[in-house]
């Protein structure tokens, strides 16, 4: 897997085709299904190629149409809402600062550099603040004010520097979005993503101030995950409806930093990699919740898993990546 300094990630995508009923899987896709079924944490898998479903199966767990926790795939959705706000002029650019957009969110005990944190720093998790994820997560969500707690943490890196994976950065971003738009994150998710995509987005966790959690705990059905991925694969529009601008997606899929855990590059809410010359983008959530697009092969992949068990890069997530790289991509090339 390599990091991709590319702006033409979506080049060559085709128009979304009407999706016919799923036919009996061909031999390569049957092999993919068998391999996925053999992963005990994997609940369900759907693969669309050139807009048509080639594989859709529930192996265990909730029924196909039921919304399930997608964990940090939520971060990719919140990043998309940032794109909508920028497209609408509600935020002037990714260089807009916290101090300029929402100074009221900054606690009195925050370090001086906090006001200069940009929304780009937040959406790439390069705010420089001590992380709220990992071992710090429990204490953070037990605090009386999640935004203030995240912003009052010590600076451990310069803003815009290295990636510090932190749900707190996305929660602050969600609070900024709510402040500048006058709509809760739930209202934005439903009106700006759910309605144009024709998908349901249930209400999810809120903090003590009533703000919806940015970057975790959202829920989508497997078909809704596919629908979102197909929209991105098609350059931001689906069925003639534009959801995200092509400019935002080009910016989102450009590497900005690198994950210290997986080694994958990271854009605006998307992990980015390459396998055998095929660029791909991943939305990834705890436990093994994945939306993956591979524009060069016309692929959108959605996978759900047990949300209570970890999926580390050296463990189950590594198995998911092997499923994609060693089974799904070869099956797609064989068509």
Q: Which of 154, 181, 208 is the last residue of a domain?
A: 181
Same domain, 334 and 237: yes
pLDDT of res. 15: 36
Q: Specify the residue for token string 């601008």.
A: 245
Residue 248: which CATH number?
A: 3.40.710.10
Average pLDDT over residues 292-311: 96
Tell me 18's DSSP state: P
Do 92 and 176 lie in one domain? The reply is yes
pLDDT band at 2 (very low <50, low <70, confident <90, very high): very low
Task: Classify residue 109: in a domain, yes or no.
Answer: yes
Q: Are residues 288 and 248 in the same domain?
A: yes
Q: Are 148 and 58 members of one domain?
A: no
16-30, 56-70, 210-224: range with lowest mean pLDDT? 16-30
For residue 36, is it within any domain?
yes
Asked if 227 and 286 sit in the same domain, the reply is: yes
Domain contains 186: no
Number of domains in the chain: 2
**Domain match, 61 and 95 both:** no
The per-residue pLDDT for 14 is 38
Sequence-separated (6 or more) residues with CB below 8 Å from residue 282: 264, 270, 271, 272, 273, 290, 291, 292
Domain membership of residue 325 (yes or no) is yes
Which of 181, 212, 242 corresponds to the end of one domain?
A: 181
Report the C-alpha gap between 14 and 331 in whole angstroms: 19
Is residue 59 located within the same domain as residue 86? no
Is it the case that residue 16 has pLDDT exceeding 80?
Answer: no
The answer to whether residue 205 sits within a structural domain is no
Residue 20 shares a structural domain with residue 95? no
CA distance 260 to 164: 8
> For residue 13, what pLDDT band results from cuts at 50, 70 and 90?
very low
CB crowding 20-52: b at 16 or more within 10 Å, else e: eeeeebeebbeebbebbeebebbbbbbbbbbbb
Owning domain of residue 247? 1-66+221-335
Mean local confidence (pLDDT), 202-224: 98
The pLDDT of residue 20 is 43
199 within domain boundaries:
no
Mean pLDDT score across all residues of the chain:
93
Average pLDDT over residues 1-11: 48
Least confident of 10-14, 43-47, 50-54: 10-14
- Whether the per-residue pLDDT at 274 is higher than 50: the answer is yes
| Cα–Cα distance list, 224 to 10, 157, 193 (Å) | 21, 37, 11
* 226, part of any domain: yes
Predicted local distance difference test score (pLDDT) of residue 1 = 37
Share of the chain above pLDDT 90, in %: 89
What pTM was estimated for this model as a whole? Answer: 0.93
Same domain, 232 and 296: yes
* One domain for residues 234 and 297: yes
Claim to verify: residue 242 and residue 334 sit in the same structural domain: yes
Is the pLDDT at 11 greater than 70, yes or no? no
Residue 201, domain member (yes or no): no
Span 124-143, pLDDT tens digits: 999 999 999 999 999 999 99
Determine the pLDDT at residue 8: 59
Per-residue confidence band for 22, with pLDDT thresholds at 50, 70 and 90: low
Question: Which of 3-7, 196-200, 278-282 shows the lowest per-residue confidence on average (mean pLDDT)?
Answer: 3-7
Specify whether 252 is located in the same domain as 306.
Answer: yes
């Amino acid at each position: 897997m390599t990091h991709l300094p590319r702006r033409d990630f979506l080049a060559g995508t085709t128009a979304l085709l009407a999706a016919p009923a799923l036919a009996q899987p061909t031999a390569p896709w049957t092999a993919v299904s068998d391999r996925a079924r053999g992963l005990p944490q994997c609940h369900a898998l759907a693969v669309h190629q050139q807009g048509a479903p080639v594989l859709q199966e529930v192996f265990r767990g909730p029924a196909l149409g039921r919304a399930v926790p997608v964990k940090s795939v939520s971060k990719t959705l919140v990043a998309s809402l940032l794109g909508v706000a920028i497209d609408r002029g509600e935020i002037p650019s990714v260089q807009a600062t916290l101090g300029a957009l929402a100074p009221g969110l900054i606690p009195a005990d925050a370090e001086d550099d906090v006001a200069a944190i940009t929304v780009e720093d937040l959406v790439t998790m390069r705010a420089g603040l001590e992380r709220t994820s990992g071992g710090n997560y429990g204490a953070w969500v037990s605090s009386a004010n999640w935004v203030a707690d995240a912003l009052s943490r010590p600076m451990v890196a310069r803003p815009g520097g290295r990636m510090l994976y932190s749900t707190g950065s996305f929660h602050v971003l969600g609070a900024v979005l709510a402040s500048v738009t006058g709509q809760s994150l739930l209202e934005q998710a439903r009106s700006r993503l759910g309605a144009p995509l024709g998908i349901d987005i249930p209400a999810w966790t809120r903090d003590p101030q009533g703000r919806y959690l940015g970057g975790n705990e959202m829920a989508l059905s497997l078909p809704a995950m596919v629908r979102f991925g197909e929209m991105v694969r098609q350059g931001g529009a689906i069925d003639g409806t534009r959801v995200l601008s092509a400019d935002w997606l080009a910016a989102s899929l450009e590497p900005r930093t690198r994950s210290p855990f997986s080694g994958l590059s990271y854009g605006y809410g998307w992990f980015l990699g390459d396998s055998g010359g095929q660029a791909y983008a991943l939305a990834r959530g705890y436990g093994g919740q994945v939306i993956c697009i591979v524009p060069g092969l016309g692929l959108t992949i959605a996978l759900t898993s047990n949300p209570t068990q970890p999926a580390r890069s050296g463990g189950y997530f590594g198995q998911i990546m092997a499923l994609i790289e060693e089974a799904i991509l070869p099956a797609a090339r064989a068509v």
